[in-house]
Structure 1
Amino acid sequence: MNQVAQRTLLIAFIMLALGLVYGGGRMLLAGTYQYQTDQFLDDWVTKNRQPEPLAWMVAEAAVRKAIALYPLANADYLDRLGRVYDWQHISLPIGSEQAHTSRERAINAYRYAIAVRPNWPFSHNNLATAKLRQGELDDEFKQAMESGFTLGPWRAIAYQQTAWLGLVSWHTLNEQERKTVTSAIHHGLTHTGSSKQYIQQLLTRLQRQDLMTGSRE
């Protein structure tokens, strides 16, 4: 190999190494912002109340930086973006005009997350929940609700969320959609003791003790 070829090969290796270092640095920094976002989300869940505006703004900036820095579309980060927007006005009622923009942004983030990773049940659950808060009990809501369960039938969060979403929207569902909901209820009543307790309390609170057997009929 002559000197020109050696020099060209060396330059190529150096460029590749620099690219890997640059990409790795971006991913590491994105992970740092993702961790910061998670800290806020965990705190809001623990306190179970709408975040203060300043805290929310910091969380939104962090998750957007994580998304921008990551070299590829990252479904985890997009799902977190949706959750951040969900929390912005979480205490406002269904269909609130004040919360319309933030909830629409949450819906769009979940749609993108699903497009990137279609088989992850929780993004479907989250999309259906955001649609419910927006007052949009349409075909997209129903499909997301069903997919959340069918993609994760024995994941507690998936079947519990499907049961809740289905029960509060029961009057809008067709026969097949109701069967999906009763299947989710059945899973909750037969999976674990804690899940059984959750489903029983949910059915009692919503006055649907007729479904307490978890029948799939």
Structure 2
Amino acid sequence: MTISVLIADDQAMVRAGFAAVLDAQTGIEVVGQAADGDEAVAMAHELRPDVVVMDVRMPGRNGLEATRALQTPPRSSDYVPRVLMLTTFDIDDYVYEALRAGASGFLLKDATPEELVVAVRVVASGDALLAPSVTRRLIEDFARSAPPRIDAGRLSELTEREREVLTLVGRGFSNTEIAAALFIAEQTVKTHVSKILSKLGLRDRVHAVVLAYDTGLVQPGS
């Protein structure tokens, strides 16, 4: 299946460059380009792309607000795209909120063409973007100044083992590392992660990390 992509960035050269890279790939098609958040939301609902590559900083409605709008569609639509955020990483304080708003991951704006292609394919497949440790480091940076926002009682649905797995996911452990730490098979870890996502209504591993911090299960620096 072809992955359809909408690119949203206020810099025309960035949009054109990303479009050229993605359109050159087998199985990926850029169906539209938006210059701001309002245009991105409107075009997304019209074109219904699989993935929206969204810059964090744009005039008018920024990438965070546009992402939140796309993740909470009007009652007349069931369309919810996967959003890949573009960030400069060290200064974009919107990113943590973007992940909370429903973004599936992030990509540095100085990423290589190969990294862009991989990122789009990963997000389109339903997985979280980048290594868990990278995602954890980003989230931890912004979690330091924010108290837990979700009642930890939500975790009561999990078994003790699932809470252990979620804790390690939140700390940035890969499935292989979790298996070694808990002395269980890697396939068993995958099963636990799948059950955690299902029980807590989470889209992917990135949002499991966010929830681990939001509930206080994992503390910054732990």
Fold match (TM-score > 0.5): no
Q: Which has the higher strand share?
A: 2
TM-score by length of 1: 0.32
